[in-house]
Amino acid sequence: MRDLIKGNKKAYIFPGQGSQYIGMGKDLFENFNSAQKIFKTANQVLGFSLSEICFNGPIDKLTKSSVCQPAILAVSIAAFQVLRENFQTGGSVYACAGLSLGEYSALVACGSLEFADAIALVNKRGRFMDEAGEKNPGTMSCLLGLDIQDAEQVCEQCGAEIANLNCPGQVVISGSFESIKEANAYAISRGAKRVIQLKVSGPFHSSLMLEAAEKLKLELDKVVIKPPAIPFLSNVTADYVTDEKKIKELLVKQVVHTTFWQDIVLKMSGTGIREYFEIGAGKVLRGLLQRIDRKLQIVNLEKNADFLNL
């Protein structure tokens, strides 16, 4: 095993839905047996070739939540297994967190959740969310350059809800098509620099996902979650959680609740964690962390070249 960055406290962080692209995971699959095992397990549990869709598409299948969510999880854990089996992190890892869907990857990484259970759960989670979106149609948008107080007033005025607080100057809102259309226009009038309509299949992290949360609870009740071996932070509380029952409760609540990624990062950095391994597809979290605190160090681990560069 090779040693990685030595000295500072470290954390594992995992991306959420939206980081997917055709071809993700293929490089790891071709270069590491540990990655192959992860994809083969995923294919077996799901009953279809997730690896084929990840590597070759088509994009309309990959972006479907019931496929996209296990795909992102599989790529993250494939990369994590490569890291764990080939490298030492040069010191203790003090925290583990993921953005929204990324919480499931984080729970696998910290030893709380078996990968096979996680891949089945997120497949169902994605399906439940899509079904709720069909029953309660809606969308999401990102308000740039608007502070949280103004964003809350926009939501109160238009009937939308705060979905994600990812970094300074970026507030993601969720709701019905009508409420988001009205909120986008009102946000500009309140001083937003820009409004970006997100390409999503439903109004995630809002009360319109309540039915999905209820179905997910029934599935989580069947799964064993163990105390985290690495300190784990929840999106809902932006704090460390150790109790298995509480973790399940928060995973259910997260579907209908605001996620506080910025606060999670501030919590970690406030305890002296300066180095972050973003494990999985894309570099979304790198961009968010740099907006939160430019002094933080981020290492992206997704492809064979990333590991060779270590």
Active site amino acids:
100, 205
Considering only CA atoms, which of 170, 103, 168, 100 is closest in space to residue 141? 170
**Both tokens assigned to 148:** 């949280």
276 in Cβ contact with 298 (< 8 Å): yes
- Rounded Cα gap, residues 247 and 98, in angstroms: 13
Q: How far is CA 66 from CA 41, 69, 225, in A?
A: 17, 6, 22
Query: Strands, DSSP E only, in the chain?
Result: 2-3, 9-14, 87-88, 93-98, 139-144, 161-167, 170-175, 194-197, 232-233, 240-241, 273-279, 297-301
- CA–CA distance, 64 with 33 (Å, rounded to integer): 28
Nearest to 298 by CA among 2, 77, 8, 101: 8
- Pairing state between β 273-279 and 297-301: parallel
DSSP, collapsed to helix, strand or coil, labels residue 158 as helix
What is the DSSP annotation of 230-259?
Answer: S-EE-TTTSSEE--HHHHHHHHHHHTTS-B
Nearest of 180, 177, 208, 205 to residue 195 by alpha carbon = 180
* Inter-residue long-range contacts of 247-252, CB under 8 Å, 24+ positions, other chains counted: 247/107, 247/112, 248/217, 248/220, 248/221, 251/103, 251/104, 251/216, 251/220, 252/213, 252/216, 252/217, 252/220
